[in-house]
Amino acid sequence: MNDPNPTPAEAPVDEALTTLEFTLNGDRVVVATRPSRTLLEVLRYDLDMVGTRQGCDEGDCGACTVLIDGRAQLSCLTLALLVAGKSVETAESLAGAPRMDPLLDAFDRCNAGQCGFCTPGMLMSATALLRENAQPTRRQIQQALSGNLCRCTGYGAIFRAVELAADIHAGKTARDEELAGPSVLPPALPVPKERKP
C-alpha cells in the first residue's frame, strides 16, 4: 500500500503501512501509518492536526511538545507506534469543549503569543506543570518551560501568562490589575471654556 500522506521533505518509501490506535484529545483514533514515522509526523501529516509545530525536528526547541499520558514529551523524538493504546493531548484540546482552558485566555491577555510559533509547545508544557502544581513559583515555571525556546524572546509575558492562568484556575483575580500595568491612555483633554456668544 502506498503512503497517501508523504511528509514534504521525504521521497516515497516502500514501507508497509501499519495500524496505530490511540486516544487523541479524548477521542479514539485509528490511523494507517508507516512504522518509521514520529508522533509529530503522524499528528501533522496523517491526522491533519497541525497545531503541534515542527520546529527543529531534533529535540532542541520544544515546539512539538504534546502530553503523552499526561506527561510533556517531544513528539519529534517519539516513535508514533510507542503511543499505541496511550492518551495524547495536543494544543487543540485546550480550546475544545466544555470550555476554553484559562491558559489560552491568559496568553491572550498577557500578549504572550507573539509570532505564535512556540505557543502550542509552551501551552502543553504549562498544562503539564499546572496539573501537577496548581500554584507554581516563577522559578518553577521557568524550569518547566526551559525546554521550550521562543525565538521572539517573549519569555516575560509567557511566564506572566502561566501565573495568571494559575490564578484564574484558583479563582483569584488579584493579579489582573498588576498585569494590566500603568494605563496607556493619554491624559484627558482639557474641557474647553464656554464661548461667549
Residues forming contacts to ligand FES in the complex (CB under 6 A) are: 54-57, 59-64, 74, 76, 113-119, 150-152, 154
| DSSP helix/strand/coil, 122 | helix
Comparison of 26 and 156: residue with beta carbon closer to ligand FES: 156
**Distance, CA of 68 to CA of 89 (rounded, Å):** 7
Nearer to ligand FES, 151 or 170 (CB): 151
Task: Give 41 or 167: the residue with its C-beta nearer to ligand FES.
Answer: 41
Nearest residue (CB) to ligand FES, 111 versus 143: 111
Q: How far is the CB of 109 from ligand FES (least distance, A)?
A: 15
- In this structure, what C-alpha cell is assigned to residue 161? 501568562
Is the separation of the CB atoms in 165 and 130 below 8 Å? Answer: yes
Report in angstroms how near the CB of residue 157 gets to ligand FES at its nearest. 9
Residue partners of 104: CB distance under 8 A and separation at least 6: 94, 95, 123
Q: Hunting for cell 484564574 — which residue is that? A: 168
**Shortest separation between residue 108's beta carbon and ligand FES, angstroms:** 13
Question: What dihedral angle (degrees, nearest 10) is formed by the CA atoms of 32, 41, 90, 27?
Answer: 0
Least Å from the CB of residue 125 to ligand FES: 11
